[in-house]
Amino acid sequence: VEIGDGCVIGPHATILDYVKIGKNCKIFPGAVVGGIPQDLKFAGEVSWVEIGDNTVIRECATINRGTAASGKYLTKIGNNCLIMSYAHVAHDCVIGNNVIQVSYTGLAGESVVDDWAIIGGGSLVHQFSHIGAHVMIQGGSKINKDVPPYIIAAREPISYCGINSVGLNRRAFTQEQITAIQNTYRLVYLSGLNVSQAVEQVENTLPQSAERDLILEFIKGSPRGIVRGYN
């Protein structure tokens, strides 16, 4: 185990083998970091949990090590994250920076959560799912499709419910950037086109921007497919 400078490990927190924790992290009572994977394919191999700087792990959260079967051998959590009470991070998950995982959420194995995403309390994330940057997910959601960046995802089944404009404004996105995101998702979700047609239309009709390109890259790289639209 490696624990960086300035960390606070609370009473009755458990840090097991092969864990690397960055600087100024806080591990609250009852949390278990580095438990062996809850995966029948795990055969006792050396694998790791890595946690970045300034991350907070609240009471009774559980974070499992990686596996050989995934090829990663690593579960990774970035900087400035908040993993709230009773949340679970399964084997080989990758969580970016500034992510909030609210209480009672569960990330199944090999899920990926990009920077600044917020996963509402009690949400369940299917294995291999990808949650994009700056996403806001309603509490109690069942995430069984990939959630593209910058959006609010809610309802049952989980659906696109507009862009996360409040979060984007808080993070100093310009109106020009927000407009580029809105225009992209109008074609993806509100034009009546299927996803492949919408991607082609976005590429052919909308000006290039970092935000447009990130959305296109996410959609093209989604083997599971993205969440549905309003209807």
Exactly one of 88, 91, 130, 134 is catalytic; name it. 91
| 3-class state of residue 214 by DSSP | helix
Catalytic site residue from 39, 92, 114, 115: 92
Judge whether 22 counts as a catalytic residue.
Answer: no
Alpha-carbon gap, residue 95 to 120, rounded angstroms = 15
Is 109 assigned a catalytic role? yes
Q: Which of 34, 52, 109, 120 is catalytic?
A: 109
Q: Is 91 one of the catalytic residues?
A: yes
Q: How far is C-alpha 57 from the chain's CA centre? A: 15
Tokens coding 167:
């979060």
Q: How far is CA 55 from CA 21, 35, 122, 218, in A?
A: 9, 18, 20, 26
Half-sphere exposure of 15 (CA within 13 A, CB side): 21
Distances (CA, A) of 183 to 105, 180, 198, 223: 31, 5, 11, 24
Q: Which residues are catalytic?
A: 91-92, 109
